[in-house]
Structure 1
Amino acid sequence: MTEQAIYRRFQQSARIHADSIAIRSESGDLTFAGLETASREVGRGLMALGVARGDRVAIWGVNSAPWVVAALGIQAAGATLVPIGTRLRGREAEGILVDSGARVLLCDRRFGEFDYVDAILARDVPALERIVVLDAPGDENESTRVIGLDSLRAIGTQIEDAALDARIAEATGDDIVDIIFTSGTTGKPKGVPMTSAQSLIACEAQREELTRFTPSDVFAVTYPFAHNAGYRAGWQVSVLYGVRILPVSTFDPGDLLRLIEREKVTFLPTAPPVAQGIIDHPDRPHTDLSSVRIVATGGTTIPVRQVDELRAAFGPGTQVQTGYGLTETAGSVTSTMPDDPSEVVAKTVGRALSMLEVKIVGPDHVELQVGEVGEIAVRGPQVLKGYYNNPEATAAAFTADGFFLTGDAGSVDAHGNFSITDRIKDMYLVGGFNCYPAEIEGMMQGMPGVGKVAVIGVDDARLGQVGRAFIVRQPGATLTEEQVIAWCRSEMANYKVPRSVRFLDALPLNATGKVAKVELRAMD
């Protein structure tokens, strides 16, 4: 791939696939040619508002066609996209807007009962000059600075096409095209800037080594557009390679089944809880799932039985794969392969992608041996160069030889398959012994009656910390705390045994389907 400016690369794709459908959504179809035209209108509108190259412009809303149009428009104008997670609320969004210095926010009016516009107007964001509503008319009130998307397009008529073309031509591979803020599940979110060149490298790797996309593919993008999995590895790689995307903003298994059959979906990313919902849904045996080439699942511990059940549910023509990636690496770091057995798919995250160096290091950053647990470190062309305006975090994140320290504990086997043991910060010490929650969760997943489980460390006067398990029972199960602890004592080392159990109707999840352990820690 020789083109290093991402919007110009999109324009090449739009010319090749002009009449093909780029986005199909409830609001209708948008061809690649139509997507380019719509994004140019947004780009001209932003320029008319005074947005300059390198200015930050944020998007806050659910997966939709206007989200993609807005993002491409931001890139056409030479600005830097700052996505904000759908589930974040006013105070959290304020922090991202302030930290990034965003001048314009494009957002939905509301999602359910939550009003995005009112939430921001109630906060103090000095740099924010305009709010553009994507899915409803704006207030058109100068005092509130809120306008609608149609008004932005109308303002854009003040800018000649030639002026936008000149702005697009100025773009280089070194331009910062986006800053995605980390989820903040373990602390204050940090901004991760990516250049145009890095983003293109990550998209090409995603296509060549993971998805093997062709223009005949139909991608149901279930992960939020504001997160790397739904953005760079979702809609962005799709528009660069002529793939049709279906924006998905809810995770109802029945809706997904109907979508797969109606639209002939070929690529389906799911979090394990959603995958289980599809497997268990009563409509699944009567739904034609034969179009699906790949089901990608990951983000939490995956039972071997779930991999087997997915393969049985979708049929022999469907590959089930899992992998490991980070915001800081612009996407995937490892992936399982199509011919990997269920044990490998469930218990590992596969092998490193070809352009990346991945190793396991100890506290002294020296590489460990096969099978030893340490911190996963990665180096490669699409790994971030440093956190946005955060030199302290940047200095702490890299080894002397330039490897990024992921904060994830893991190991690698003799075949090069990596396993994620846990977050380094989630590890807890019981009487001096290291306990990795993911390892304990994986064992407890095999206990009869356990549907889902999450483990955290809690303070203990005698041992320093001990484990606490949060369990969602399987339907009809009557597990008690005593039964769970007794089973664990028979199956694992004593220091790994949770000392207390809490039963929940559902585990709290963040936007990417991972268990929100910060919420578990807040529970009594």
Structure 2
Amino acid sequence: MIEGFWKDKYPAGIAAEINPDEYPNIQTVLRESCQRFADKPAFSNLGKTITYGELYEQSGAFAAWLQQHTDLQPGDRIAVQLPNLLQYPIAVFGAIRAGLIVVNTNPLYTAREMEHQFKDSGAKALVCLANMAHLAEKVVPQTSVKYVIVTEVADMLSPFKRVLINSVIKYVKKMVPAYHLPQAVKFNDVLSKGQGQPVKEASPVSSDVAVLQYTGGTTGVAKGAMLTHRNLIANMLQCKALMASNLDEGCEILITPLPLYHIYAFTFHCMAMMLLGNHNVLISNPRDLPAMVKELSKWKFTGFVGLNTLFVALCNSEAFRKLDFSALKVTLSGGMALQLSVAERWKTVTGCPICEGYGMTETSPVATVNPAQSIQIGTIGIPVPSTLCKVINDAGEELPLGEVGELCIKGPQVMKGYWERPDATAEIMDSEGWLKSGDIAVIQPDGYMRIVDRKKDMILVSGFNVYPNELEDVMASLPGVLQCAAIGIPDEKTGELIKVFIVVKPGMTLTKEQVMTHMRANLTAYKAPKFVEFRDSLPTTNVGKILRRELRDEELKKLGLKK
């Protein structure tokens, strides 16, 4: 039923299948695209644009330095901890050309989060922003990281602008805390020493891991999803197949406000748009809306990739509403549920409908999408080419159309597994290659799907996964905490807000301020709770497991969202 059902669900002009073995590895795609689109702009940021030819040259210099000035070998891991700057694609593609496995790392991570990821991945090298180097100083000695490359925000700009902007950031805004990393090498020195040097191009096979993308999966501590060259190439080709009728090669301008270290932006902008030879305008700080809108005003952009919270913020900006949207052809949404009112308002403001998709880190990430020529708002669309979906009950049996069950996905973009965690892999993937998403969905007779709810207790804040287990581990380390729980409660702006519940040990006292200070010191800002409630007890099962769902239901009742 499954395969036969999906084959005829694609609009005219979109093939139901792609060939994930069209290219042997990412290096081949990069080389061919950079030759074919050599003079076309690849990435722009802070007023500087690099072409695909320059991207290849500079990533080659980075790769050459890695090969000639370190003892790193193909298969070794390199953590890249950068915001949206030109340095990011240069470092990532350079590392891949040298045969290294890229470990995408959030620049906002605390020292605790960095240490876990670096230790778990066994990273031997790190590329980081000077603004975060003081944290690297604390973490690196506890890990296998041997080489540290530090860059400043404006390093890719002209000498005058570089000195000016870097000085303002460091001395006026005081955004670069003092650090001491004797082994650190400057990013520009790496490029200078590698410039013109020969690169021994790595030639990994398609099943080799290209990227370790960390995620909590559906539960627990962050795990590294092993995304192979074949996984990422498949997702590039799947995106291309769906975009072919809307995005032309070598002439589109895509706004890139979502962080490239996040799998959604990574695959779409660094991979799929590289395959198509299109131009990505990197927004380094989308939280600075006025600066972002000012940047948008400089471009006749044809594509915009965002998520619900960003669409809301922009539509509320008078300056944004005054922009020229006449060239805008495609708007893509993912990372969190798109609200109907937001989709309607975006179309009113820009004249462009939003195509909502769905994916997971474990699916590289795009699994389903609304084809631009046939959008159904409120759905996550249809599976991308060469991908199958089904819903199952708790016994693992496939359910008929229209019935609600756990969404499962099968396709060439599904990860190899979790890094050094075979048990966790076996929990989410079966022997036939089906991946359990942890999301509850329904498949309509026309093939379009709707997400009904999340099976697990994961909290989604502005498109970022937040896992209660992690929050509770941090809370439990605070003296005075006897029991604790974390849940998400609905919020118009961010999708969900975090609320935590704490039972204090007898004879001890604890304040909300103490809890918040502790959480902020150990967690990235978006993981910090917005509400703290102290209780005498928490609801538990007969074996003492705290019932988060019961707590969430209570909060929904207070908000009038549940009877």
Deviations 1:436-477 (A, max 9, x none): x99x96xxx9xxxx7776488985489981435879xxxxxx
What residue identity is the alignment partner of 2:272? V
Residue 63 (str. 1) matches residue 93 (str. 2)? no
- For the residues of structure 2 that align with 1:28 and 1:107, how far apart are their CA atoms? 20
Alpha-carbon separation, structure 1, partners of 2:34 and 2:275: 8
Does the C-alpha gap of structure 1 residues 24 and 364 become closer, same or farther in structure 2, counting only changes over 3 Å?
A: same
Distance in 1, matches of 2:85 and 2:278, equals 16
Are residue 174 (structure 1) and residue 207 (structure 2) matched?
yes
Q: 2:256 aligns with which of 218, 221, 224?
A: 221
Percent identity of paired positions between Structure 1 and Structure 2: 21
Q: Give the match for residue 57 of structure 2.
A: 37
84 and 374 in structure 1: CA distance in 2 versus 1, 3 angstrom threshold: same
State the shift of 1:160 in Å.
Answer: 4.6
Equivalent residue number for residue 20 of structure 1: 40
Out of 275, 289, 295, the position equivalent to 2:325 is 289
**In the alignment, structure 1 residue 6 sits paired with structure 2 residue 22:** no
Structure ranking higher on relative contact order (CA contacts 8 Å, 6+ apart): 2
Q: 1:455 touches 1:467 (CA, 8 Å); kept in 2?
A: no
Q: Is 1:118 matched with 2:134? A: yes
Instruction: State the secondary structure of the residue aligned to 1:230.
Output: helix
* Residue 330 of structure 1 pairs with residue 364 of structure 2: yes
Distance 1:418 1:288 in 2: 33
Q: Distance in 2 between matches of 1:319 and 1:183?
A: 32
Cα distance in 2 for residues equivalent to 1:380 and 1:101 = 28
Q: Aligned pair in 2 of structure 1 residues 385, 237: CA closer, same or farther (>3 Å)?
A: same
Alignment counterpart, residue 249 of structure 1, candidates 284, 299, 317: 284
What is the distance in 2 between the residues matched to 1:27 and 1:411?
A: 45
SS for the counterpart of 1:98 is: helix
Note the residue ranges of structure 2 that are not aligned, 5 or more in a row: 1-18, 156-175, 460-486, 502-537, 542-546
SS at 2:438 equivalent: strand
1:142, distance to aligned residue in structure 2 (A): 10
Structure 1 pair 309–470 and aligned structure 2 pair: CA distance change class (3 A): farther
Q: CA deviation at 1:145?
A: 1.3
Which portions of structure 1, spanning 4 or more consecutive aligned residues, are displaced by more than 4 angstroms?
A: 136-139, 183-186, 450-453, 455-464, 468-471
| Conserved 8 A contact 1:233-1:331 | no
AA at the equivalent of 2:142: V
SS in 2 for 1:465: helix
The 1:470/1:292 distance shift into structure 2, 3 A limit, reads farther
Match of 2:116 in 1: 95
Matched residues in 2 for 1:455 and 1:419: separation?
23
Aligned counterpart for 2:387 among listed residues 331, 356, 363: 356
Asked whether the equivalents of residues 330 and 354 of structure 2 are also in contact (C-alpha less than 8 Å), the reply is yes
Q: 1:311 aligns with which of 347, 350, 365?
A: 347
Indicate the residue corresponding to 1:150 in structure 2.
188
Cα distance between partner residues in 2 of 1:285 and 1:146? 44
**In the TM superposition, what whole-angstrom CA distance separates every residue of 1:341-377 from its partner, at most 9, and x where no partner exists?**
6xx31x2111111211111011111111222221111
What is the alpha-carbon distance in structure 2 between the residues aligned to residue 379 and residue 129 of structure 1? 38
Among 305, 309, 312, the alignment partner of 1:273 is 309
TM superposition shift of 1:232: 1.2
Match of 1:322, SS?
strand
Whole-angstrom distance in 2 between the partners of 1:469 and 1:45: 57
**Residues of 2 paired with 1:119 and 1:155: CA distance?**
27
For 1:314 and 1:324, locate their aligned partners in 2 and report how far apart those are by CA, in whole Å: 23
Q: Tell me the equivalent position of 1:500.
A: none
> Residue 259 of structure 2 aligns to which amino acid in structure 1?
P
Contiguous gaps of at least 5 residues in structure 1: 111-115, 429-436, 472-480, 489-495, 498-524
1:143 CA drift (Å): 6.9
Give the aligned residue type for 1:145. Answer: Q
Question: How many angstroms does 1:423 deviate by?
Answer: 2.1
TM-score for both structures, normalised by structure 2:
0.73
Provide the residue aligned with 1:232 in structure 2.
267
Q: 1:452 to 1:54 in 2, by over 3 A?
A: closer
Equivalent residue in structure 2 for 1:392, among 423, 440, 443: 423
Superposed counterparts of 1:420-459, under 5 Å:
420-426=451-457, 454=496, 459=538
- Which runs of structure 2 are paired with 1:405-420 in the superposition (5 Å)? 405-420=436-451
> What is the distance in 2 between the residues matched to 1:126 and 1:323?
37
In structure 2, the partner of 1:321 is 355
Q: Which secondary structure does the structure 1 equivalent of 2:325 belong to? A: coil
Deviation at 1:275, TM superposition (A): 0.4
Q: TM-score, normalised by structure 1?
A: 0.78
Q: 1-side partners of 2:241 and 2:413: how far apart?
A: 15
SS of 2:136 mapped into structure 1: helix
